[in-house]
Amino acid sequence: MAEIQEKGGGGGKGGKKRSKKQSTKIDMTPMVDLGFLLLTFFILTTTFAKPQTMEINMPVKPDKEEEQQALKASNALTLIADENDQLFWYAGLPDAPTAPGMQLTDYSANGLRKILLEKRSNPNLTVLLKQTDKSRYKNMVDMLDEMNITGIRKYAIVDVDPRDTKMITEAKAK
């Protein structure tokens, strides 16, 4: 039978009995498992950036020096990378009867690329790429990139000649 309690002046606790509230508890274990499964999935399915390389075919060294063909000065274009990202160039060879004029340019589209596109009209053009000891590796990569962009397939990586060094110092003095 139901019982009604009246408030009395007595010293008892009286009143409504309330149940104790329990704290809500969420089990996070499944969510952590799901997070790690997603992380593992994305790590395993991601393809990482593959390094880009440029294929350079080096010619076979001839057995006899007589087998080498001499390069004509009219077919030669020399590019020399120097310190402070300077790029010197001249058309021809340093030992040609008409001394080539050393000129300064840069690696931009209006610099090196423009020169290469102008000289590309010669089908027998051979570009000689040279790099001084003070130049950076990036400069040689930039020159090789420009060879690839302009479509010039005939080029050689050559050591700097003492005559080239002399012409560079003369060009810097001007």
Q: Tell me the per-residue pLDDT of 21-57, one tens digit each, with 9 for 90 and over.
A: 777 788 889 999 999 999 999 988 888 777 777 676 6
- What is the rounded average pLDDT of the residues 134-163? 88
Name all contacts of 113-118 with Cβ < 8 Å and 24+ positions apart. 113/146, 113/149, 113/150, 115/77, 115/89, 116/77, 116/146, 116/147, 116/150, 116/152, 117/150
Cα 143 → chain centroid: 13
What residue spans of 56-161 are helical by DSSP H? 112-119, 137-150
Q: Which residue has the tokens 């508890």?
A: 25
Q: What pTM did the predictor assign?
A: 0.62
Which domains does the chain carry? 73-173 (3.30.420)
Q: Residue 68: pLDDT band by 50, 70, 90 thresholds?
A: low
Res. 10 pLDDT band, cuts 50 70 90: low
